[in-house]
Amino acid sequence: MYLKSMLIFRRCLKSTPLYRREHDKYIHVSHPTPDPDELLANSTLLKDSRTVTAGTAGNFFIKRYNTKNFWKKLKRSFQYPRSYRCLAGSILLRETGILTPEVFYADRQYLVTEKLENFSPDLFLSSHPEKCLDFAPALRKLHDRGFYHGDLSLRNIYCTENGSFGLIDLDSILFCSSPEGLPQRKRIKETARVISSAILLSRKEETEKFMEEFLRNYSLNKDDILDRKVLMEEILLYIKKTNMDWCKYRTENTAEKI
């Protein structure tokens, strides 16, 4: 799926009229941006880690991918750049009516996008885990159209004032061109990530009940295509990885009910 996605993304970037390519740079034809180095130097930093530095400046969000280790730099030179993947994923998502910030600039190290309106932690579902159930139909739409976000916790899902949902952080996005959409194993993996994220943030204890409520909204009156037993196993696995201590809540009882 990875290699097929990269081929689709390459074709997307080669054919889109929205961007002009200058060597290894993709620049939006209608939104020229300042130099990304200068933007980041004058930004309000949101994250500064070994792998990523990100911040906001004016109406821009800037991300720099850090590869300080020589071997990682060498490895990255042979990989499809994450910034290009974000750009192609953004184009394809927006073409299908799924909200995501518009990309203004991308090269092998930098990504510059629009800053979300009213940008704050309160904009994201990580601050409103109760809205997770409302997001389920949007996730079904995403999966039916072949998209796999790859890191879909509630901190990467935002909600607009009119109730529409959008996605950020497309570094791991993949795309499946099959008419059936995303394969079930990928649907389960991503759905489990969303549900477990909501459970941990809201401290819900009735895991099975919450999963069933989410699946009712995900099904959209269509065929129920997700294997409940496998999904519950994935949910518990994510919870265990994320919070080992809290995971001790009645795992045995839950497993008996499946």
Answer yes or no: is pLDDT of 76 > 70: no
Q: What pLDDT score was predicted for residue 74?
A: 61
**Residue 42 neighbours by CB under 8 Å, 6+ apart:** 57
Of 102, 76, 77, which is closest to residue 89 (Cα–Cα)?
102
Residue 56 belongs to what H/E stretch? strand 52-57
pTM above 0.85, yes or no: yes
Of 192, 199, 200, 178, which is closest to residue 232 (Cα–Cα)?
192
Average pLDDT over residues 216-228: 83
2-114 matches 121-257 in fold: no
As a whole number of angstroms, the distance between CA 69 and CA 103 comes to: 27
Least confident of 49-63, 124-138, 163-177, 203-217: 203-217
Tokens 């030179």 belong to which residue? 77
Q: Annotate 5-53 with DSSP letters as a single string.
A: HHHHHHHHHHH-SSEEEETTEEEESS-----HHHHHHTSEEEEE-SSEE
As a whole number of angstroms, the distance between CA 75 and CA 70 comes to: 9
Q: Is-contact 40 62, C-beta < 8 A? A: yes
**Residue 256 neighbours by CB under 8 Å, 6+ apart:** none
Domains of the chain, by residue range, sit at: 2-114, 121-257
Q: What is the pLDDT of residues 2-18, one digit of tens each?
A: 899 999 999 999 999 99
Question: CA dist 145 to 48, 100, 113, Å?
Answer: 34, 15, 24
256: tokens are 């008996």
Binned at pLDDT 50, 70 and 90, residue 182 comes out as very high
Answer yes or no: is pLDDT of 200 > 70: yes
Q: What pLDDT score was predicted for residue 257?
A: 40
CB atoms within 10 A of CB 191: 23
For the domain spanning 2-114, the CATH number is: 3.30.200
Q: Which residues pair with 113 in a beta bridge?
A: 61, 103
Q: Is-contact 246 224, C-beta < 8 A? A: no
* Average confidence score pLDDT of the chain: 88
User: In the CATH hierarchy, which fold is given to the domain comprising 121-257?
Assistant: Transferase(Phosphotransferase); domain 1 (1.10.510)
